[in-house]
Amino acid sequence: ACSNGDGTKTNSGSSTGATVLNIGMPNGPQTENHNPFLGSSAGASLGYRWMIFEPLVMINGIKPTEPGKPWLATEWKWDANYTKLSFTIRDGVKWSDGQPMTAEDVAYSFQLRKDHDGLNQDAIPYGSITATGNKVDLTFPRSQFVNQNKILTVFVVPKHQWSTLKDPTQDPLKSPIGTGPYTVKSFTPQTTTLTLRDSYWQDLPKVKELRYTSYNDNNAQTTALANGSSEWSFVFVPNVKAVYQDKDPKNHKLWFPANLGIHGLWINTTKKPFDNPALRRAMNMVVNRDDIFQQGEAGYFYPKIESVTGIPTPAGESFIAPEYKDKNHSVDLDGAKKELSDAGFKLEGDVLKDPTGKPVTITLTDPAGWSDYQTDLEIIKDNLSTIGIKATIDKANQDAWFKNIDTGNFDAAMHWTNGGATPFDIYQNIMDGKILKPVGKAGVSGNYGRFNSPEATKALDQYANAADDATRTAALNTLQKIMVEQMPVIPTSASNVGGLYSTKNWVGWPDEQNQYGPAQPTQQNALQIILNLKPAGSQ
C-alpha cells in the first residue's frame, strides 16, 4: 500500500499546519454504498457514516453511565419507568442540501426503524412515534432501561430524501444528505474522500478533508500506519511495539480502552463434571490472563479483565459491587487445588480425577481461522494442565462451530458476550434462563453454556424492569455474586473500542488522561474526536 512518497504527498505542508487527515481500515476494496443503516456499507465499514449522520445524543462509549452530550436533541426525558421518551430537537441545524432539520425528520428516522426490521438493528420495540413542533415523543410497550443508550444515540436521516427511496434497506444512497460537518467528495474502492461543509451548527472542525482508505489486509494497514501514510486506524498489529510504536515513538500512539462486553471461556454447564461450580472456579483460578493479553492480544488489543466479576474496567468500574471492589483475578494454583480437593476431586500425579474417579478431560474448540482465540485456547490448555485437566484443542470449521455452540454441543469454547450501556448485557447473555434451551436445541441467542439459575433469571428480570436505581443495584450485585461463585463463563478479555493514531500532524486525540471518547474510528464518537483535533503545529 505505501511507498515513500505517501506521507508527504497527502500531507503536503504539514509544517504550516495540516488540512487532511488520513484514516485507514483493513477492510478490502469497498463498493459505493453510503447507507448508514447497513453494516456492509463503505460508510459503516470505514466509519465515515458518523461524519455525515449525527445522533440525537452523543454518549461516550467507554463511559456509558455518564450522561450523554446533547447533540441534535437539546433535551430528552424518560418517563413512566422508561416506557416513554420525549426529545426536544435542536433548532438551526441544516441538512447538507440546505434544508432545515426538523422534528419531522427525527420522527421519520424512528419510523423507518419501526417499519423495517432490517434497519432496526437493536430490535427496539417501538410504540407510537409523534412529532409536535420541535418535540418528538416515543412510547414503548415495556421498560427500555437497558436500551436507553441505544435509543438516544439513534442517528437522524432526512425525510425528504429517504421517503423517495424505493427500498431503504437496499439503497446504496449514492449521495447522502446529513447534518454532519462533512460531505462525500469522491469515492473509489480504495479511498473515500470527505470534505468539510461551509457551515455547521457547531464550530467547524479544523480538518478540511478526511481520507478514508480501505487497505486490503492487516499487513497493508499495519505498514501504512508504520510509515505514517495512515494516521488513524483500528487494526490488530502483532508485536505492536516493534512493528508500529518504535517506528516513531514520539507520535505513534495507541489507546485501547475497554467497553462493556467481554470475551471468555464459555463452559457447557450441563456436562459432567463441569456442572460442578467448584471445578469451574478452580479452572478460573489457573487461567493466566497476562499471557492471554501479552501473547494472544499482542499486549494491547483486547484488554484483560481484572475484576473477578468479569466486568471490564474502567468502563464498568462504577457497577462493581462493594464486596468485589478490589478483588482481581490472579493465578492461584494452591487455591485452585484446595477448591478441588474440597469438592472431592483428586489430583493423582498430573491427572485430575473427579469424585467418581474418572480423569477430567476437556475439549476446547474454536474456528480454525480465529487466530487470537486459538492462541488463547493454547494458553488455557497449558494452564489447565497445571491442575491435571487434560485439554485438547479442536480447531473446528466455522459453520460447524456455530452450530455446535448454538445447540450446546461443546465442552468449552472462547466466545464473546453482548455489550451495552451496563453490565446487564453481559450477564443477560451468559445467564438468562428465559432464553435457555436444552442441549441439542438450536436457536438460542445467548446462554450457550446452558446455565440454569432461577436466581440469576430473576435478578435479570428485576434489573430490566425495576422502577428505581436501588432495586437495580441490588439485582446487579446478585448477578455479580452468581458470576463469581458459579463462574459459568471464565472471563478473559474485554471488548475494546480502541485505535492507533499518530500525533505527527494532528493532536487532541483521546487517551488515558483525556477519556472523552473511544479511540476507534468507526464508532459514533469519532465525530467528537474529529471536532477535537487541532493541527500539531498550533499547540
Partner 1 sequence: MTATIAAVTPAATPTPAKRRRLRFVANPKAATGLVVLAFFCLIAIIGKWIAPYDPSARSSDLIQAPSAKHWFGTTHLGQDIFSQVLVGTRGVMYVGLLAGLVATALSILIGVSAGFLGGAADDSLSALSNVFLVIPALPLIIIVASTIPSAGDLMVALVIGFTSWAWGARVLRAQTLSLRRRDYVEAARATGESTWRIITFEIMPNLTAIIASGFVGTVIFAVMSEITLAFIGISTISEWNWGTILFWAQSQQALAQGAWWWFVPAGLAIAILGTALSLINFGIDEFVSPRLRSSGHTRVKTNDGHSVRMRVGFTPVLSSKQAPATPVVRRKENAA
Partner 2 sequence: MKFLFQRIAFYIFTAWAALTINFFIPRLIPGDPVTSLMAKYQGQMSTEAIQSLYVLFGLDKHQSVWSQYVAYWGQIFHGDLGLSFTFFPTPVSEVLKQSLPWTIALVGITTFASFMIGTSLGVIAGWRRGSIMDGLLPVTTFLSSIPYFWLGLLAITLLAGPGSFFPSSGGYEPGLVPSWTGSFIGSAIQHSLLPALTILISSVSGWILTMRNMMVTVASEDYITVAHAKGLSERRVMVSYAARNALLPNVSGFALSLGFIVGGTLLVEIVFSYPGIGYNLFQAVGAKDYPLMQGVFLVITLSVLLANLLADVAYLLLDPRTRKEG
Nearer to partner 1, 1 or 89 (CB): 1
Q: Are 484 and 493 in contact (CB under 8 A)?
A: no
Q: What is the 3-state secondary structure (H, E, C) of 433-490?
A: CCCCCCCCCCCCCCCCCCCCCHHHHHHHHHHHHCCCHHHHHHHHHHHHHHHHHHCCEE
In single-letter form, the type of residue at position 389 comes to I
Nearer to partner 2, 218 or 473 (CB): 218
Q: How are beta strands 252-255 and 258-267 bridged, if at all?
A: unpaired
Nearer to Ni ion, 188 or 445 (CB): 188
Distance separating alpha carbons of residues 176 and 96, to the nearest angstrom: 9
Pick what 378 binds: partner 1, Ni ion, partner 2, none; C-beta below 5 to 8 Å, kind-dependent: partner 1
CB of 23 to partner 1, least distance (A): 20
Nearer to partner 1, 403 or 458 (CB): 403
Q: How are beta strands 129-132 and 489-496 bridged, if at all?
A: unpaired
Distance separating alpha carbons of residues 493 and 264, to the nearest angstrom: 7
Q: Where along the sequence are the contacts to Ni ion (CB under 5 A)?
A: 1-2
The closest of 385, 384, 365 to 373, measured between CA atoms, is 365
Cell numbers standing for residue 362: 476437556
Pick what 199 binds: Ni ion, partner 2, partner 1, none; C-beta below 5 to 8 Å, kind-dependent: none
Pick what 382 binds: partner 2, Ni ion, partner 1, none; C-beta below 5 to 8 Å, kind-dependent: partner 1
CB of 379 to partner 1, least distance (A): 7
Pick what 425 binds: Ni ion, partner 1, partner 2, none; C-beta below 5 to 8 Å, kind-dependent: partner 2
Distance separating alpha carbons of residues 424 and 426, to the nearest angstrom: 5
Peptide linkage before 273 cis (omega within 30 of 0): yes
Q: Render the burial of 178-189: b for 16+ CB within 10 Å, e for the rest.
A: bbbbbbbeebee
Distance separating alpha carbons of residues 452 and 244, to the nearest angstrom: 46
Q: Where along the sequence are the contacts to partner 2 (CB under 8 A)?
A: 1-4, 6, 9-10, 24, 28-33, 35, 38-41, 117-123, 169-172, 186, 188-191, 211, 213, 215-217, 219-220, 223-224, 226-227, 229, 261, 263, 367, 369-370, 398-400, 402-403, 416-420, 425, 429, 445-446, 495
Nearer to Ni ion, 99 or 190 (CB): 190
Q: Render the burial of 359-386: b for 16+ CB within 10 Å, e for the rest.
A: ebebebbbbeebebbbbbbbbbbebbeb
Cα dihedral across residues 169, 43, 2, 300: positive or negative: negative
The closest of 468, 475, 477, 459 to 82, measured between CA atoms, is 468
Q: Where along the sequence are the contacts to partner 1 (CB under 8 A)?
A: 218-219, 222-223, 226, 237-239, 242-243, 295, 368-369, 371, 375, 378-379, 382, 393-397, 399-400, 403
Pick what 188 binds: partner 1, partner 2, Ni ion, none; C-beta below 5 to 8 Å, kind-dependent: partner 2
Nearer to partner 2, 117 or 342 (CB): 117
Nearer to partner 1, 49 or 289 (CB): 289
Nearer to partner 2, 125 or 359 (CB): 125
CB of 294 to partner 2, least distance (A): 20
In single-letter form, the type of residue at position 210 comes to L
Nearer to partner 1, 106 or 287 (CB): 287
* H or E segment to which residue 390 belongs: strand 390-396
DSSP state of 338: H
In single-letter form, the type of residue at position 507 comes to V
CB of 189 to partner 2, least distance (A): 6
Cα dihedral across residues 247, 303, 258, 435: positive or negative: positive
Coil/strand/helix, residue 115:
helix
CB of 213 to Ni ion, least distance (A): 10
CB of 261 to partner 2, least distance (A): 6
Nearer to Ni ion, 1 or 380 (CB): 1
